[in-house]
A and B are shown apart, each in its own frame.
Chain A
Amino acid sequence: MQTILKSAPMQKMLIVDDNGDLRKLLRLTFGYGKYQILEAENGQSGLNLAMQQKPDVILLDIMMPGEIDGLLVCELIKASPELKDCCVIMLTARGQREDFEKGEKAGADYYITKPFSPLELIEIIERKRFNKD
């Protein structure tokens, strides 16, 4: 058990969402030992935390209070040399075609609309990790 943990160090996951219940849902979904969970309530603090902690996975809401929305956060992360390999998953209530297009343009790896299946979300992230490794 110890050796496995050492050979596969805990991944860092950043959850950026202004809705407390949503953050709780994601925390419970991924908080079973594999991930170190980081949380932010808005775009600015999410961006700061990402720069600081360099997470492997970011679950990013789009519409949040403050100057910086999720799309801009994604764009800035993908533009940063240190963070561009980080997997950004947009999790949003905006489900129209032009919203997808905007997410794609911002460089998001996945664009998932709410409500979503937590189990499917785990699978997507695991598959992504496996492919990368």
Chain B
Amino acid sequence: MTSNKQRTEVNQTALPGLALQQNPDLFRSLVESAAEIIFCTDAEGRMTFLNQAWTRITGFTIEEGLGNPLSDWVVDPDSKAFSKRFKPTAKNDANWRLDIQVRTKAATPRWLALNARALRNAEGEIQGIAGTLLDIHDRVQMEQDLKQSEQRHAMVACASNDGIWDWDLLNDKIYLSPRWKSMLGYADDELDGSFAAWHDRVHPDDIKQAMNDVMACLEGRTEHYENVHRLRHKNGSWRWILDRGVVFRDETGKALRMTGAHADVTLLKSIEETLLQRERELEAIFSISPDGIVTVTHDGLISSVNPAFLLMSGLNKEAIVGMPESQFNQLVLSISDPQFPYQPDLLGGDEQPQAVLQLVNTGSKPHHPLRRRSDNQSSFRLRKPRLRVLKRTVRRLSDQAIAKVMYFRDVSIETEVDRMKSEFLSTAAHELRTPMASVYGFSQLLLSREFDADTTKDILKTIHQQTESLVSMLNELLDLARIEARAGKDFQFTVQPLQPVVRRALAELLVPGDDRNVKVEIPDVLTPVYIDAEKIKQVVTNVLSNAYKYSPGGGEIQLRMLARIRDDGSREIGVSIQDHGIGMTPDQQFHLYERFWRADTSGKIQGTGLGMSIVREIMDIHQGEIEVQSTYGLGTTIILWFKEMQSGESHANHS
């Protein structure tokens, strides 16, 4: 059988064999150009022939090889597979194959695929071994690497809490580890390994970037794949997943597998989100705060300033941040008013909360501890960029990123309101002093001297008038104070026609010593308004009595009621009161609603200077309008405008 086969092979190669035998040069060049090592040994296994590939692959010369057994170069020549088979025996008539490691001159052994068979002479006796050695080192190396990497992966998968995925790109199959599935709430048998199992669960907002990253890695543009995306959990919620992977390629660079792991970072992500949200909130508060905030580090450097502080101080952020606190204090001092300076060292510079507490505890009088907080506060006035009164509060923080927070509040308005209040009080006191001087002075004269009957009566009349004036001034002051304090909350608003209210004011108006009648034009039908009747009666009375008082020379006083439609389509009812009296200059009109301001300063016309202030307050609460037309020397017309109540309009929110 064997010899038959042998012969057949010989027959098949008869022609080329013949050519080769006839042309030993061609034979030699073929052998020498082969990529694999071609060798022959004698019966003892010593090498009798080697081609050039031997030197190319092992680095040893042919002379170094010839005459020595191949086993001298094999790394593990005693291994069973090699030592048992690499023998010139009949058993090895057929080709056999074995991967062996062969030493090289460069010291690193290389993997070679050994193909060998027994070599017989023309007589059929076994002479030795003939064979080839193919360099498969790179392939073996890669297979080993892959194996190691798989083992590492398996180890990582077991040790960690990650969900493993392994994508066989050639067969488009995906393995998903049980942990991968349980991360999304699925049992191992509930989910098949497929690309869609992942792809279809990615959040719509995240899928584009995730796919981009996968493709970038597959196409070799990135070394590793990494993406954080949301995956839909079985229960419908979203889990944040940190997904990482690598691609394995063959020697041509073709991607064979992509393998990676999922880590659930939902908790991290939510903490991160919370922190970010917190930071955004703080940043928003910091930047929209109307109050200035300046922070100082433990090194005594200014670490941040907010826009409000920059706005109120007109200082430049770049200049301040990083500046030592002492220099900052100098800077603020330089723009503060020397009359009302910034005093960082006296107040808030080095306050000791502990000492403050002791002071409170050992004090003989029981203090409320909070009252000592004012120790950390100081007010000062800025000259630039414009006059402002600022109140500074300093808080020291321990064990924090910042050591100190300075908080600047613009108290200009409060200070101005305080000033106006005290001015109002002193004006009110002043106004009360004048009638008081008459009452006090005249009554003393009456007690200490004798006057004739007429003078006595005149004096008494003056005292009475001035007392009356004092009483009405007190009443009006109280009215104003009440309206201001309650802001209309005690007003009795009802929907009603305006005409009866105006008629009552007319009927009750009493102007002593003036017999003029008001010329009245009131239509029968007008849309009702939403008002407090008593308050509006007072408004009409005040305006009417001004019309009388400020037309001492006589002339007709007219009261008309009218209606108008505004540009925005809203309808209003007006009460117009016209006199032909002394009138007002534009400058006087400007002061009309000022408290205690009087158009007449001669003292001939009685009054408190509060009537129009009250009119204004009441009309404001009614959301009404006061129109003033006045010409100095010719007279004044005042029109009080009220919004009409539309049918069906709700007025509940007005009360």
* A24 CB contacts on chain B under 8 angstroms: 462
Q: Annotate A3-47 by CB proximity to B: 1 below 8 A, 0 otherwise.
A: 000000000000000111110110011000000000001000000
The interface residues of chain B, by DSSP majority, are classed as: helix
Could you tell me if B455 and A25 are in contact, using CB atoms closer than 8 angstroms?
A: no
| A115 in contact with B602 given A22-B434, A28-B455 (CB within 8 Å) | no
Could you tell me if B603 and A93 are in contact, using CB atoms closer than 8 angstroms?
A: no
Which residue in chain A gives the minimum CB-CB distance to B426? A96
Binding stretch for chain A, among B118-126, B435-443, B500-508: B435-443
A94 at the interface (CB under 8 A from B): yes
* B367 CB contacts on chain A under 8 angstroms: none
Could you tell me if B436 and A114 are in contact, using CB atoms closer than 8 angstroms?
A: yes
**Could you tell me the distance in whole angstroms from the C-beta of B582 to the nearest C-beta in chain A?**
13
**Could you tell me the distance in whole angstroms from the C-beta of A86 to the nearest C-beta in chain B?**
23
Which residue in chain B gives the minimum CB-CB distance to A24? B462
* B455 CB contacts on chain A under 8 angstroms: 28
Could you tell me if A25 and B433 are in contact, using CB atoms closer than 8 angstroms?
A: no
Could you tell me if B430 and A115 are in contact, using CB atoms closer than 8 angstroms?
A: no
**Could you tell me the distance in whole angstroms from the C-beta of A104 to the nearest C-beta in chain B?**
19
* A28 CB contacts on chain B under 8 angstroms: 442, 445, 451, 455, 459
Could you tell me if A18 and B603 are in contact, using CB atoms closer than 8 angstroms?
A: yes
**Could you tell me the distance in whole angstroms from the C-beta of A83 to the nearest C-beta in chain B?**
26
A119 at the interface (CB under 8 A from B): yes
* B602 CB contacts on chain A under 8 angstroms: 18, 20, 41, 65
Which residue in chain A gives the minimum CB-CB distance to B448? A119
Interface size for A (C-beta < 8 A) is 23
A114 to B313 alpha-carbon distance, docked (Å): 45
Could you tell me if A29 and B437 are in contact, using CB atoms closer than 8 angstroms?
A: no
* A116 CB contacts on chain B under 8 angstroms: 437, 440-441
* B429 CB contacts on chain A under 8 angstroms: 95
Which residue in chain B gives the minimum CB-CB distance to A96? B426
In the complex, which of the residues A18, A22, A93, A113 has the most CB atoms of chain B within 10 Å of its own CB atom? Answer: A93
B466 at the interface (CB under 8 A from A): yes
B4 at the interface (CB under 8 A from A): no
**Could you tell me the distance in whole angstroms from the C-beta of A33 to the nearest C-beta in chain B?**
13
Could you tell me if B448 and A21 are in contact, using CB atoms closer than 8 angstroms?
A: no
A-B contact count (CB 8 A): 68
* B441 CB contacts on chain A under 8 angstroms: 25, 29, 115-118
Q: Annotate B588-621 by CB proximity to A: 1 below 8 A, 0 otherwise.
A: 0000000000000111100000000000000000
Could you tell me if A117 and B462 are in contact, using CB atoms closer than 8 angstroms?
A: no
* B431 CB contacts on chain A under 8 angstroms: 93
**Could you tell me the distance in whole angstroms from the C-beta of B459 to the nearest C-beta in chain A?**
7
Could you tell me if A21 and B462 are in contact, using CB atoms closer than 8 angstroms?
A: yes
Which residue in chain B gives the minimum CB-CB distance to A121? B441
**Could you tell me the distance in whole angstroms from the C-beta of A30 to the nearest C-beta in chain B?**
11
B444 at the interface (CB under 8 A from A): yes
Question: CB within 8 A of B445: which of A29, A41, A65, A94?
Answer: A29
Could you tell me if B442 and A25 are in contact, using CB atoms closer than 8 angstroms?
A: yes
Could you tell me if B444 and A21 are in contact, using CB atoms closer than 8 angstroms?
A: no
* A94 CB contacts on chain B under 8 angstroms: 430
Which residue in chain A gives the minimum CB-CB distance to B442? A25
In the complex, which of the residues B429, B437, B459, B462 has the most CB atoms of chain A within 10 Å of its own CB atom? Answer: B437
Question: CB within 8 A of A118: which of B430, B445, B451?
Answer: B445
**Could you tell me the distance in whole angstroms from the C-beta of A102 to the nearest C-beta in chain B?**
14
Question: CB within 8 A of B601: which of A18, A25, A96, A118?
Answer: A18
A96 to B462 alpha-carbon distance, docked (Å): 27
* A106 CB contacts on chain B under 8 angstroms: none
A46 to B437 alpha-carbon distance, docked (Å): 21
* B442 CB contacts on chain A under 8 angstroms: 25, 28
**Could you tell me the distance in whole angstroms from the C-beta of B438 to the nearest C-beta in chain A?**
5
**Could you tell me the distance in whole angstroms from the C-beta of A64 to the nearest C-beta in chain B?**
7
A117 to B451 alpha-carbon distance, docked (Å): 18
* A21 CB contacts on chain B under 8 angstroms: 438, 462, 465-466, 603
Could you tell me if B436 and A65 are in contact, using CB atoms closer than 8 angstroms?
A: no
| A25 in contact with B445 given A94-B430, A113-B433, A116-B440 (CB within 8 Å) | yes
Could you tell me if A114 and B434 are in contact, using CB atoms closer than 8 angstroms?
A: yes
Q: Annotate A80-124 by CB proximity to B: 1 below 8 A, 0 otherwise.
A: 000000000000011110000000000000000111111100000
A113 to B455 alpha-carbon distance, docked (Å): 26
Given contacts A96-B426, A113-B433, A116-B441, 10 further A-B contacts (CB under 8 A): A18-B603, A21-B466, A22-B434, A22-B438, A25-B438, A25-B445, A28-B455, A64-B601, A115-B436, A118-B445
29 contacts across the A-B interface (CB closer than 8 A): A18-B601, A21-B438, A21-B465, A21-B466, A22-B603, A25-B445, A25-B462, A28-B442, A29-B445, A41-B602, A64-B601, A65-B601, A65-B602, A93-B430, A93-B434, A93-B437, A95-B430, A96-B426, A113-B433, A114-B434, A114-B437, A115-B433, A115-B437, A115-B438, A116-B440, A116-B441, A117-B441, A119-B444, A119-B448
